[in-house]
Amino acid sequence: MSDKKVLLEIPNLDEKVELSIHSGTLGQEVVDIAPLAKKGLFTFDPGFVATASCESKITFIDGENGILLYRGYPIEQLAEKSDYLEVCYLLMNGELPSPEQKQKFTRQILNHTMVHEQIHKFFTGFRRDAHPMSVMVGTVGALSSFYHDALDITQPEHREIAALRLIAKMPTLAAMCYKYYIGQPFTYPQNDLSYSENFLYMMFSVPSEKWQPNPVLAKAMDRIFILHADHEQNASTSTVRLAGSSGANPFACIASGIAALWGPAHGGANEAVLDMLMEIGDVKNIPKYIEKARDRNDPFRLMGFGHRVYKNYDPRAKVMRETCHEVLKEVGKTNDPLLEIALELERYALEDEYFIEKKLYPNVDFYSGITLNAIGIPVNMFTVIFALARAVGWVTHWNEMVSTPGFRIGRPRQLYTGHDQRDYIDENNR
């Protein structure tokens, strides 16, 4: 925090209000507008374009320069050298683990990979053809009914065990969503496999056949998890924080985050990208779609392009692009028509003045869909994978908020533009 101040002149109050300017370790300074409320004034910022909702030590994004840091470590280094469980430990604890800490953490996660047998029955209440994200919202929310009475969120150990349970059970639930959808039996976790191998095993193995992990695909899956693990105060994380600010059960809060993630402007974009690439169908149709995206009267947007914070190439998209090539090579799809369309679309968009002027670059979702598709993950599971990976980010933000002394319920205000006060009109006189 700095001691810089800004003076705000309020004409009809005939006085100046002194507002402090806080500076963090990195990034923009923020004006502390809390004293305005005492003067009966609120700020107006729909979409939170200029509002820092909290102080946080977890993740930093420099959107102008395309930088993403988890606890200070660049995403490119973590994607290359680390693994997802180590990244989970880092996000949750603030430091990379020692070998002993890593081993203990992995063991703790493995202890919790199974879900309560009752959850299996819970699944059968869903329609077979329900979108897997709707099932994820329901089943992760249902975890709150298994872990509620004994959970005291004021206790750090209770918060930690809730986080471990969540990270451990997300792959199990995600795979169950898929198995339920395609009518195959649920597969129990195998704890001698790595986190990402275990997920692929629960997704793709069947009781009647032997299953062997593919190290290239497991590594790619792990990288996808790392890239999606956290992204500071995005819509779903802010939703989790807001839900958690009332003191609600953490699993219920995470379910609210999954709901927020589902939309195509957020996590649902990976699904929308693949649908879009299939709709484009051929590189010769690209100019037509670029034209549609530029047309202000056409609601069409190039999915996988643009970001509220990144005004440069999303660093996650760069890593994702490499991983995409590795996976396509492994599965023998180097001439994948969707990749061909994606590469050409990217080339067009990066040279187009509309996209240059609006600083619209590919985001993480642009290449993740093609990669997941090549791994064999069906399109309607893409956002579930995002939710699985983001669970650690959500729960870490929830924990940070709950453990901050004096945290308060989140309660934004509004600019009311409805009716003035009026009297009730009897039914016969309306």
CA 290 from centroid of its chain's CA atoms: 27
Applying the rule CB under 6 A, the residues between 263 and 282 that interact with ligand CMC are 265-267, 269
Using CB under 6 A as the binding rule, whether residue 368 contacts ligand CMC is answered as no
User: Per rule CB under 6 A, is residue 364 in the interface with ligand CMC?
Assistant: yes
DSSP 305: B
| Interaction of residue 365 with ligand CMC, rule CB under 6 A | yes
Window contacting ligand CMC (CB under 6 A); options: 62-70, 143-151, 237-245, 302-310: 302-310
Q: How far is the CB of 398 from ligand CMC (least distance, A)?
A: 18
**Strand-by-strand arrangement of the 30-31 sheet:** 4-10, 15-22, 30-31
Whose CB is nearest to ligand CMC? Answer: 306
Residue selected from 153, 302, 374, 387 as contacting ligand CMC according to rule CB under 6 A: 302
Candidate list 175, 221, 293, 345; residue touching ligand CMC; CB under 6 A: 293
Does 307 sit near ligand CMC (CB under 6 A)?
yes
Q: Contact with ligand CMC (CB under 6 A): which of 102, 116, 158, 301?
A: 301
The amino acid present at 351, given as its one-letter code, is E
Reduced 3-state DSSP string for 30-69? EECCHHHHHCCCCCCCHHHCCCCCCCCCCEEEECCCCEEE
Is 257 an interacting residue with respect to ligand CMC (CB under 6 A)?
Answer: no
* Encoded tokens for 181: 């959808």
C-beta of residue 233 within 8 angstroms of C-beta of residue 63: no
Token representation of residue 268: 């649902």
Structure token pair of residue 370? 């093609």
Lookup result for tokens 């923020």: 30
Q: Is 20 in a helix, a strand, or coil? A: strand
Site string for ligand CMC, 227-246 (x = CB under 6 A): ----x--x------------
**Contact between 308 and ligand CMC per CB under 6 A:** yes
CB of 393 to ligand CMC, least distance (A): 11
Catalytic residues: 266, 307, 365
Q: What are phi and psi for residue 306, nearest 5 degrees?
A: 90, 155
| 371 near ligand CMC, rule: CB under 6 A | no
State how far the Cα of 330 lies from the Cα of 332, in Å rounded to an integer: 5
Which range of residues in 88-96, 113-121, 173-181, 296-304 is near ligand CMC by CB under 6 A? 296-304
When the beta carbons of 46 and 332 are compared against ligand CMC, the nearer one is 46
Nearer to ligand CMC, 82 or 238 (CB): 238
State which of residues 171, 257, 304, 393 lies at the interface with ligand CMC (CB under 6 A). Answer: 304
Q: Give whichever of 189 and 369 is closer to ligand CMC, judged by the CB atom.
A: 369
Output the CA–CA distances (angstroms, integers) from residue 227 to 102, 244, 258, in the order listed: 20, 24, 17
Please answer whether residues 107 and 89 qualify as being in contact, where contact means their C-beta atoms are separated by less than 8 angstroms.
Answer: no
Nearer to ligand CMC, 345 or 364 (CB): 364
Which helix (H) or strand (E) element contains residue 9? strand 4-10
The secondary structure of residue 178, as a DSSP letter, is H
Binding site for ligand CMC (CB under 6 A): 231, 234, 265-267, 269, 293, 301-308, 358, 360, 363-365
